[in-house]
Amino acid sequence: FLLSLKLENKTKGKLQKQICQVVLDHFEKQYTTELGDTWTSVRDVLTYPLCWQYAVLLNKFSQSAELENTLRVKGYHPAFQGPLPYLPASLKCYIRRTPGRFPAQKHQAGKLKEYYLLNAASLLPVLALEVKDGEDILDLCAAPGGKSVAILQCAYPGQFHCNEYDDLRSRWLKQTIESFIPDPLINLMTVSKLDGRQIGDLKPELYDKVLVDAPCSNDRSWLFSSDIQQATLRLIQRKELSSLQFQLLRSAIKALRPGGSLVYSTCTLSKAENSDVINLILNSCSNVMPVDISEMAKAVSQEFTFLNDTQQHELLVLPEKGRAWGPMYVAKLKKM
């Protein structure tokens, strides 16, 4: 018993050690102001990885009936059920209430993976985008590639342009696509390393749908920065992120065809990077209007916890125990 207690304390110590105090103090100040009492329960989930959950997104290009049976036996159930405005039958994602991660699959050249492990909330931007067969799609900040893979589970785009400016992340994106998407389909995709802020000028009015899963202050991973100097630098540079996000959105709007729609998402709770950026866009671009996504939020409210006082064109997923998904901010706009 004493030995197991020692081991438990050691594990706890390990977890405690990993938390970056500089980041936690910063978040504490900001999110107590922005979220009030809600922050306490969110913080408890974010700082305790043992209660994190992982969803299993099935790959329709490498299907296995066995896998679905295994997941059901292990207590998993479909993440999305019920009257969603958009839910293609080919998009299958499994979750369970208990924490833990299904074993990951290694990348093997020439062999497609059967599933992708992800935070279930990161599928909400894809569901909000409502991609249909034959549409021309741009995923502006596509790495590591989970949302690109999810889009292809939903529909077969006319042209599918995945872009990632960062060199390392771009390689990661390419590997994800190779791991999940069969060759004939890969040949119809474009993977580029352009500066997302310039794509609108380079490819004006070329796309029906654009996803801007913007670079943001990733609350989950930042809390576990092992390098204090890097963490401090991140917090200083954090102020500049909203300006980059605004420029990426402006570029995305230029790349959209009139009548086309855009989804903006981040994995931060930060108001400055979420609703403030969207409000700035709505106030400065007369050719876009907000799109109501409250029906989608209502349809998935069994599995996700949302911040209460958001507007109809946006939602913010708050992690809580047993539903440890998010943070994930999603907003939808349409070009006139």
Q: Give catalytic residue positions.
A: 267
141 is in an annotated binding site: yes
331 is in an annotated binding site: no
Residues 6+ apart with CB under 8 A from 63: 114
213, β-bridge pairs: 265
142 is in an annotated binding site: yes
Contact between residue 186 and residue 240 where contact means Cβ atoms under 8 Å apart:
no
φ and ψ of 116, to 5 deg:
-125, 130
86 burial level (CB within 10 Å; 0-12, 13-18, 19+): middle
What distances in angstroms separate CA 72 from CA 68, 91, 114, 119, one per listed residue? 6, 17, 16, 19
144 is in an annotated binding site: yes
Task: Give the separation between CA 142 and CA 158, rounded to whole angstroms.
Answer: 18
219 is in an annotated binding site: no
28 is in an annotated binding site: no
Contact between residue 161 and residue 192 where contact means Cβ atoms under 8 Å apart:
yes
Convert 236-253 to b/e letters by CB count within 10 Å (16 or more is b).
Answer: eebeebbebbbbbbbbbb
Tokens of 208: 């029906």
164 is in an annotated binding site: yes
Q: Which residue is it, tokens 């060199």? A: 167
Task: Give the separation between CA 302 and CA 285, rounded to whole angstroms.
Answer: 35
17 is in an annotated binding site: no
Residues 6+ apart with CB under 8 A from 335: 253, 256, 257, 258, 259, 260, 261, 262, 287, 288
Annotated binding site: 141-147, 164, 195, 213
Annotated binding site for S-adenosyl-L-methionine: 141-147, 164, 195, 213
